[in-house]
Each structure stands twice: as structure tokens, then as C-alpha cells.
Amino acid sequence: MLNMKYFITGATGTLGKEVVKALLNKGHKVKAGSRNPQKDKTIENQHVESVYFDYEEEHTFHNASEVDGIFLMEPPALNPKNTDLAHSFLDYLIRNKPKRFIYLSSHGMENLEEVPFHLRMEEKIKRSILNWHIIRPSFYAQSFGVYERDNIEQRNIIFLPAGRGKTPFVSTLDVGEAVAILLTMNKFPSHEISILTGEEAFDHFEVADMLSEILGRTITNVDPEESVYRKVLQENNIPAMIADYIIPLYGLIKNAKVEAVTPDLKKLINRNPEPLKKVLQRDFLKL
């Protein structure tokens, strides 16, 4: 299946850019959906077509047409309990029946009743006539370099309510490669779910030890109580809805709901997943 074209949502994000890169490396073309396709210079390649796409504007959905497959990740939501923007687009896809459709869910979503948007989307997809495949990645190894960078670099701490639970952090580079492989397989694994994890589970105290070794100074995992976490966010003028999302999300780790390692990723990419330490070294030392 050479020289195909795929529509990628979130194509300039941490994961989306890895999906685009992997597809281009395989000799395929990409339609990259964006609200600012003219201004967005993060993807510059002759085989990438940047098109206007906005979940809130249904007239832009037609820009996802005339492709061989679609990768859908939900848009960032101001309110994590009101994240139904992607449902209208999903309705459009159900009517127009793309050849291949991959939905980005998350590992442990079935245990995340407080934030059920992935669960609702999965249920709707499974009831549909789409030729679908769902991926559920574990927590991203890159999240420390993206969301905890200021805490780590400026305060020498990790500040997340994850307790002593473990999870097999996964690299977005590997997940992006897996998505590209799934989209371009000769025989698409329809109506299946892949749980994508790293090869070893770590708790946040072990991550802090890794970062201490990498950076040459002590990084402390604070592991705040939920009430303390809420208070600190409030004191820093961070909306309460962020804590409403983060606490149950990291509660999956704290309560040992996402500690299992699966073979799905290794089977797809046909190699060992990137180790967490390698990702941390690349993100914080710019290796």
C-alpha cells in the first residue's frame, strides 16, 4: 500500500507529529487538519497537505475526505467533563465510511468514570459501521518534558498525585510508528483494540531517581495529597477543572489500574519499545 494519503488530526502535537513522520518515512502522503493551516509552519514537507479543520465547524469536515485512512484524537477541552466536540465529526465519518479509521483512546479508560469521554467515544465507534481500530496508549514518557518541565527544571520536583503506583510509560515516537503501521497494513486489523505500553512499569519515585541521575542533581517526587494538589493549583490561579481531571487520571496509576505491560506495541513495531530513561535523556539533555 504505497503512496496512500491519510488524514491526521492533531498533526502538529506531541503524538500527531510522530504519526506524520512515520507515514512520510513509509512513502505516504498526509492531510494535516488544523485551525490555522496557513500559519502553521511546524510541518513543512511536499507530501503534507495542510487543510483547515475545526471540530466546532462542521463545514470543515469535508477536508477529511478523499483519503485512505483517518487518525482521530480528541481536541483539547477547556472542560474535561464536556468533551463531546469530536462526536459530530464521528457522525460525519459514519455517514461517509472512510476505508480505515483509528481512534486514540487511553489505557485504563474503562476505569475512568469521572472523565468518561473516551468511554463514550469507544462505545459509539463499536456500535458503528466503521472499519475501526482503537488504540489505548499508556501514559506518555514525554509528559515529563511537556507538562512537568517547569517543576523539574526550576523547582527540582515532580508534582503529581500518583502515589506509589506503577505504569509502563510509552514513547510517543513508538505510538506514532504503531499508528502508521496500522493505517498502512495490507490487511487492516478491523474491530480490534491495541493497548500500547512500554516494556517496564515504573513509579514516580523511580522516575525522579532517573531524572536525578540524568540531570546530576536531586529531583524529588513530592507525591502530594489530593487536597494539597488542589490547593497548590488554586494558589497558582490554575482552574479547578484541571485538578478535577488530573486527580482521577493519575488515580489510575495510584490505584494500580494501569500497571500491566502488554506485548501489543512490540508486536506492531517489531522491536523493543523505547526505554523511559532514553526518552527522558533526549527530552532534558536534548540528545
Based on its alpha-carbon atoms, the radius of gyration of the chain, rounded to whole angstroms, reads 19
**pLDDT for 64-93, tens place per residue?**
999 999 999 987 654 554 457 889 999 999
The structural domains of the chain, ordered by start, are: 5-140+170-198+260-273 (3.40.50.720)
Task: Tell me the three cell numbers of residue 252.
Answer: 489510575
CA dist., res. 220 & res. 211, Å (int): 9
The C-alpha atoms of residue 275 and residue 141 are separated, in whole angstroms, by 9
3 state DSSP class of 228: helix
Quote the CA–CA distance of 132 and 100 in Å, as a whole number.
Answer: 6
pLDDT tens digits, 188-231: 999 999 999 999 999 999 999 999 999 999 999 999 999 999 99
Q: Is the pLDDT of residue 117 over 60?
A: yes
pTM for this one?
Answer: 0.94
Read off the pLDDT of residues 246-270 as tens digits, 9 standing for 90 and up.
999 999 999 999 999 999 999 999 9
